[in-house]
Structure 1
Amino acid sequence: MSRLYKAQNNIKFGYLNTLISLILKFSLRTVFIYSIGVTYLGVNGLFTNVLSVLSLADLGISTALNYSLYKPVAENDIDKIKALMKVFKKAYIGIACVITIMGIMLLPFLHIIIKDPVGISYTELQIYYSIFLFNTVSTYFIAYKYSLVNADQKNYIQTNFHTATIIVTSIFQVIVLLIYKSFLLYLLSATLVELFQKFLVNAYINKKYPYLTSSSGRKLSKEELAPIKINIKALIYHKIGTVAVHQTDNILISSFINITTVGIVSNYTLVITSITSFINIIFNSIISSLGNLVATENIDKQYEVFKIYRFVGFWLYGMFTISFALLLGPFISLWLGPEMIISSSVVYMILIDYYLKGHRIVVNNFKTAAGVFNQDKYIALTQAVVNLVLSIILVRYIGLIGIFIGTVVQGLIATVSRPFILYRDVFKKPGLLYYKDSLLYLIVLALPYIVLAFIQNALFKDISIINFILFGMIDVIVINTFFILLLRKRDEFIYLKKIIKMKFLRRTYE
């Protein structure tokens, strides 16, 4: 089965999952806000981030072990796969134990990071937090088996289980919210469904890969463990940096502003992440295929694929950056009411980081597939320090926007430095090639935004469902027209155009 076929399969199921998730998430969020309020929404978002910080105990072990599976899976080396999976299992059980201990130690200090939990006692908060902790820890006892599934380029298996779980969980949670209006029952219903899913997943993967249940098999040699240990040491820095950068905003908002603001901001991030999940299906579904590509193809082929991968990334993230900038405010107002609107300056900071993140995802995914971890390990730590220091200083003087300015500045560090490392160490080419494309893409992005902003201010100032739909249609047409006109002569566009034509012709004749 080819890399392309497996990637297409992963993308197909990924889209189905995302569409279902999108509908259910927005339905559930609407019922949640009108049933028990935005403060509980803030608690939900905060504890999710706190447990993500505790997952720092992973220290990059999962990424290093995942990378080590690509080659033996490609070569069908069952003995080595079994040996690696035994290491995986021990590592993940150890991680679960560490997170449990750290999580319990944090319980007495929840009042420090939660400001103004209106109507919620700290005893209740500790109960809610304990449920979140259990859900996180229990995941580690099965998650390591997904590593084999994904290395085998069958990400759709995880996707399908995830879809089924979301459907059942959402149905139970909506019923609980409508009848009992209880946050505790809301959490417990999800816990029970997810626990059942974990048992089901374990049985399914054991059946699909029966050698996982075998106790026999060799251990990894010192020579085989050596590169894994090197990668883990490097990824410790990456993990610390990633957690400090991406999982601390809600904690800072809760500590320095209030827990309700966490809930209001989370409505914006829900819209952005839900829509963006359609894009990320493409990127995440082919990571394992990229790992296979790096393991089996030459540098020129890798570079060719990267350029196309990046081009698609710019097109999608660029289009949605412009669309969010112009349509996100009106959507929130129509959906939840004008009282849920936050400052446009804060939204623009979030979207600048979003656009830069789109470029970083492409670079990071390819870098991960190529096993480049050690060369940029200190960049992640630098990002973490800059983000926390700058955010804490600025939030005291300029409020909420200060936190997101810190996020944007730290993101620029990686956006500028990591492509240079990728080009130098993987493609053996000058990094200047990447930055020249970045400048071109920025110019291409600015032109349709200026035109659309003028059209919106002139014709669509009033917020209504009809205006939202009409301007949304104009937005998509104008952006893609500009992109096609300005980028039609690039090799990447010509290549993708040929692929689309071939697929269209094939389906026509079929």
Structure 2
Amino acid sequence: MGRVKLAAKNITFGYIGQLATALMSFILRSIFIYKLSKDLLGVNALYSNILSLLSMAELGIGTALNFSLYAPVARKDTEKIKSYMQMYRKAYHTIAIVVAVIGLILTPFLKYLVKNPGNITPRDLTFYYLIFLFNTVSTYFVSYKYSLVNAEQKNYIQTNINTLTKIITVFFQIIVLLVIPNFYIYLLTDAAIQLVQKLFVSRYLDKLYPYLRDKDITPLTTQEHDEVWSKTKALVLHKVGDVARLQTDTLIISAFIEVGIAGVVDNYTLVTGTIANFVNIIFNSVISSFGNLIATETKEKQYKLFKVYRFFASWVYGFSAAGFFILLQPLIYLWIVRRHGPSWMLPTLAVYLFITDYYFKGDRIVLSNYKTAAGVFEQDKYLALIQGFVNLVISIVLVQKIGLAGIYVGTVVSGLIANVTKPVIIYKVCFDKSSSSYFLDSAKYILTEAAIIVACFFISKAVLVNITILTFVIMGIIVTVIFNGVFWIMFHNTDEYNYLLGIIKSKLSRK
């Protein structure tokens, strides 16, 4: 099966799975807010964030090894695949132990990270955390096996398993909240189903790739081993910096403002994250295809497809960001605020900064995905550390001066550092070209999208005078028509647009 067909299959299954899980997740969150407290929602968000921080122990080993698998998978070199997978398994088992130890060491300090926890006792805070820790640690004993699936561009296998697990988990958690609204049972239900899933995945992938159970494995050569660890060392710096920039907002909110606000923010994140997941399915589904492309095609063809990939990302992320700028606050009002009160709504400035970072994150995903597929890790290994430092300093200083918006100022500013530097590196290393065309395209996309958002904002002042489901839908249609119409007028004569149109036409002609 070719790159395009595999990517299309990954995208199709990704959308089906995301649609099903998104609907159930919104139902679950609505019931959670009704049955449990804002503080428990904040604790749920905080602990998920802390465990993401602990996952820093992975430190890029998975990314480096995934890259190393592309070539032997393309050659169907089973023996070499076995060698890399053995190294991967040992590394991840070690990581699981490290995460468990660090996680337990952090336990006595939880009370300092949870400001104003309401009626939640220190004992409960500890036990909730230990359930989260168990879920994270147990994942490492299985997740390494997915690397081979993804290297073969069969991401849909992992997507389907995760989708089914999510649906089952959410279904039983909804029952728990309706019958016995208890946070302990809520968390233990998730832990039990996740454990069953991990046991199933381990057996299923062993059957899918029976050679993974072979005992006769040739160790990697010194050169191959050193190449993986050389990339891993560079990725360590990327990972530490990314964690300091991307995984600390909830921690700062909980420690400096209050844990309940972390729960409110998590509702906004659920909405934007759900849409982002739909968008990212497309982009993440082609990472392995890019790895194969880079291993087999010329730099000129790689450059052409990168520009198409980037143009499509700007269109899709721009459209979704425009929708968020105009409709996110009204959506939160309709979903939560009109029933539970204004304390569930965030300040408008903080929301606008949050969405600004969402848009620029779209550009960064394109850049990061291509860098990952190309194995370009060392050239900007200190960049993420600089970003992380800038984010922490700005966020911690400004949160004490202007509140929540200050945290997102740090997020936006630190993120833009990568938007400026990564294109320079990629164009030089991967394409042997100047990055000036990238920034010229960026200016065109940003100015077009900003003009559209301003126009839609003034229209919304008239349409959304009274926020109802009807006026919300009408405004959504207006944003859709204006954004896509203007974007088409501006860019329908470009090579990137015509390439995408050609793919769509070829797909339709086969049906």
Q: TM-score range, shorter-chain basis? A: over 0.9
Distance in 1 separating the partners of 2:146 and 2:409: 36
Query: Does structure 1 residue 408 correspond to structure 2 residue 412?
Result: yes
Distance in 2 separating the partners of 1:37 and 1:66: 41
Secondary structure of the corresponding residue to residue 216 of structure 1:
coil
Aligned partner (choices 372, 391, 396) of residue 392 of structure 1:
396
Show the counterpart of 2:119.
119
Show the counterpart of 1:102.
102
Query: Does structure 1 residue 451 correspond to structure 2 residue 455?
Result: yes
Shift of 1:505: 2.8
Show the counterpart of 1:497.
501
Query: Does structure 1 residue 277 correspond to structure 2 residue 267?
Result: no
Query: Does structure 1 residue 372 correspond to structure 2 residue 389?
Result: no
Q: TM-score, normalised by structure 2?
A: 0.98
Distance in 2 separating the partners of 1:394 and 1:47: 24
Distance in 2 separating the partners of 1:26 and 1:280: 19
Question: Which amino acid letter does the alignment assign opposite residue 418 of structure 2?
Answer: A
Query: Does structure 1 residue 71 correspond to structure 2 residue 71?
Result: yes
Show the counterpart of 2:329.
329
Distance in 1 separating the partners of 2:136 and 2:261: 24
Task: Map Cα deviations across residues 126-146 of structure 1 (whole Å, 9 max, x no partner).
Answer: 000000000000000000000
Distance in 2 separating the partners of 1:195 and 1:58: 20
Query: Does structure 1 residue 263 correspond to structure 2 residue 263?
Result: yes
Distance in 2 separating the partners of 1:34 and 1:137: 31
Q: Give the alignment of 1:233-252 within 5 angstroms.
A: 233-252=233-252
Query: Does structure 1 residue 488 correspond to structure 2 residue 503?
Result: no
Secondary structure of the corresponding residue to residue 118 of structure 2:
coil
Q: Give the alignment of 1:30-429 within 5 angstroms.
A: 30-338=30-338, 339=342, 340-429=344-433
Gaps of 5+ in 1: none
Shift of 1:119: 0.8
Secondary structure of the corresponding residue to residue 141 of structure 1:
coil
Show the counterpart of 1:462.
466
Question: Which amino acid letter does the alignment assign opposite residue 469 of structure 2?
Answer: I
Distance in 2 separating the partners of 1:156 and 1:471: 34
Distance in 2 separating the partners of 1:165 and 1:460: 39
Secondary structure of the corresponding residue to residue 461 of structure 1:
coil
Task: Map Cα deviations across residues 217-272 of structure 1 (whole Å, 9 max, x no partner).
Answer: 20001011121111011001000011111110000000000000000011101000
Shift of 1:75: 0.6
Distance in 1 separating the partners of 2:507 and 2:2: 16
Shift of 1:95: 0.4
Distance in 2 separating the partners of 1:486 and 1:221: 53
Distance in 1 separating the partners of 2:17 and 2:473: 25
Coordinate RMSD, CA, aligned: 0.8
Distance in 2 separating the partners of 1:131 and 1:270: 22
Task: Map Cα deviations across residues 332-364 of structure 1 (whole Å, 9 max, x no partner).
Answer: 000001522111100110011111100000011
Secondary structure of the corresponding residue to residue 375 of structure 2:
coil
Distance in 1 separating the partners of 2:79 and 2:369: 28
Shift of 1:495: 1.4
Identity percentage over the alignment? 49
Question: Which amino acid letter does the alignment assign opposite residue 476 of structure 1?
Answer: T
Shift of 1:452: 1.1
Distance in 2 separating the partners of 1:133 and 1:24: 24
Distance in 1 separating the partners of 2:347 and 2:465: 17
Shift of 1:502: 2.4
Task: Map Cα deviations across residues 283-309 of structure 1 (whole Å, 9 max, x no partner).
Answer: 111111111111111101100110000
Question: Which amino acid letter does the alignment assign opposite residue 503 of structure 1?
Answer: K
Question: Which amino acid letter does the alignment assign opposite residue 413 of structure 1?
Answer: I
For the 8 Å contact 2:287–2:373, the answer to whether it is kept is yes
Distance in 2 separating the partners of 1:7 and 1:281: 10
Secondary structure of the corresponding residue to residue 337 of structure 1:
helix
Distance in 1 separating the partners of 2:506 and 2:290: 23
Task: Map Cα deviations across residues 131-186 of structure 1 (whole Å, 9 max, x no partner).
Answer: 00000000000000000100011000100100110111011101111111100000
Secondary structure of the corresponding residue to residue 377 of structure 1:
coil
Secondary structure of the corresponding residue to residue 131 of structure 2:
helix
Shift of 1:44: 0.5
Question: Which amino acid letter does the alignment assign opposite residue 410 of structure 2?
Answer: G
Q: TM-score, normalised by structure 1?
A: 0.99
Distance in 1 separating the partners of 2:72 and 2:502: 34
Distance in 2 separating the partners of 1:227 and 1:41: 43
Show the counterpart of 2:439.
435
Shift of 1:494: 1.3
Question: Which amino acid letter does the alignment assign opposite residue 7 of structure 1?
Answer: A
For the 8 Å contact 2:463–2:475, the answer to whether it is kept is no
Distance in 1 separating the partners of 2:463 and 2:211: 64
